[in-house]
Each structure stands twice: as C-alpha cells, then as structure tokens.
Chain A
C-alpha cells in the first residue's frame, strides 16, 4: 500500500512557465513533508519542506502548498528553467525531518528551452 503517491510519472513545461508537481498521501499521522530533486547518477538533493502546521512555504522560485484536509501537497516552480529538469520526489514523515522518510515514485520534469 503506497502511502505517498505521485500520480504523474512525467511533466513537460516550457522555460519561463510554471511547473506544478503534485503529491497525495494517505497517512494522517504524517507531520512533515519534503521535496527532493534528483539528477541521474547523483543522490537526491533537498529542495524545500513544510511542517503540517503550515499551509505554504516559499524559497525563491520554489513554493510548496499543503492541503491537510485533502491530504495533498504541491510544488510550484516559477519561472521554470532548463536546469530544473530532473526527477522530483515527494517525501513524508511522522517523526519530523529526522524520521523515516516515505517517498513517492517521483515525477520526471522536463523544462524545454
């Protein structure tokens, strides 16, 4: 049973436009959510996180939105750049940022020039 779901395996966006990556979860005990970016042959790189007590967190071009009632979060990248092309993983934890992270299967983002 998948507790964290990324239902879009891939997403293609034009440079300069907005990229929206979605993530759904089933476990209401999750209290911390993270997004990681992964390039081929590299480990995942932390991008942005949000605690369950918030509904929005922003860091430069990246914003994460959390809708607890819908058990849904999304990552917005504005404006998208070709260097953003990577696989994006959504992860959740019920032990804060140091707990066991449950990952989705990832969404491959392609930003076309």
Chain B
C-alpha cells in the first residue's frame, strides 16, 4: 500500500514565477492538508481539502491556492514566488475518522 506520495521531490524556481506541487493521498484517505516547513521551524498549516473543497485555511496569503480532484489527489499552487517561499512543502492525508494524519516525504522548493 503506497503511502502519501508527493512530486516533484526538489524544485528550483525564480522569483515571480508560479509553481504547482502535487500530492497523492494514502489509499482510503479523502482529506488532504498542506504544510510549509521553513528551515529550523515546525510545519505550518496552509490549508486542508475535503470533498474537493477548501475546508480550513491557515495564515497564508491568497498567492497560495489549491485544488482537490475527484480521486482525492491534490495540488498546491503558489503564484508570484518570493525568496521567503523557499521551504519544504509537506502534504498530509487522513480519512476523516479520527486517525492520525500521514505525511509524504515533501517537496523541497528553492526560490532564487
């Protein structure tokens, strides 16, 4: 059983560009959350998707947007990239039934 998979694993972008990160949840999971982990910090909640709708959102600007597809996979889009967006982006999935969230290995985004 594949766990949470994210792609790509590494990415380098230039300031002002746009980026799309992808996540496939663990089999049987229908809820996907995205987190940003800056160097030396804990993961910070960006938003959560359930039934193709954004259910919760953390304190991130509108440049961060997302989408969930009917097969429960999800994308995170970041527009107008800033140097400060350089971080590890983590996707977590859950089944909405009080089991713990499972994380993918993350996408390391570097903005230059």
Chain A residues with CB under 8 Å of B45's CB are 100-102
Given contacts A100-B48, A101-B45, A106-B42, contact A44 B103 (CB under 8 A): yes
B42 touches A97 (CB 8 A): no
* B99 to chain A: closest residue by CB: A97
**CB distance B40 to A43 under 8 Å?**
no
B25 at the A/B interface (Cβ < 8 Å)?
Answer: no
Q: Identify which of B4, B42, B90 gathers the most chain A CB atoms within 10 Å of its CB.
A: B42
**Chain B, 27-78, CB within 8 A of any chain A CB:** 31, 33, 35, 40-45, 48, 56, 58
- Distance A36 CA – B101 CA, assembled complex (angstroms): 10
Contact indicator A96/B105 (Cβ below 8 Å): no
Find out whether the CB atom of B43 lies under 8 angstroms from the CB atom of A46. Answer: no
Does A101 lie within 8 Å of B101, measured CB to CB? Answer: yes
Question: Using a Cβ–Cβ cut-off of 8 Å, how many residues does chain A contribute to the interface with B?
Answer: 25
**B100 at interface by CB-CB < 8 Å:** yes
With a cutoff of 8 Å between Cβ atoms, the chain B residues found around residue A36 in the complex are 103
Whether B96 is near chain A, meaning CB under 8 Å from some CB there, is yes
B98 near A42 with CB under 8 A, answer no
**CB neighbours of A110 from chain B (8 A):** none
A15 → B minimal CB distance (Å) = 27
Residues 72-112 of chain B, each 1 if its beta carbon lies under 8 Å from chain A, else 0: 00000000000000000010101011111111111000000
Closest to B3 in A: A43
A103 within 8 A of B: yes
15 contacts between A and B (CB under 8 A): A43-B104, A44-B43, A45-B103, A46-B102, A46-B103, A49-B100, A89-B43, A97-B98, A97-B101, A98-B98, A98-B101, A100-B45, A101-B33, A101-B101, A103-B42
13 additional A-B residue pairs with CB within 8 Å, beyond A46-B102, A97-B99, A98-B98: A6-B42, A42-B106, A43-B4, A43-B90, A43-B104, A46-B100, A98-B94, A98-B96, A98-B97, A100-B45, A101-B43, A101-B45, A103-B35
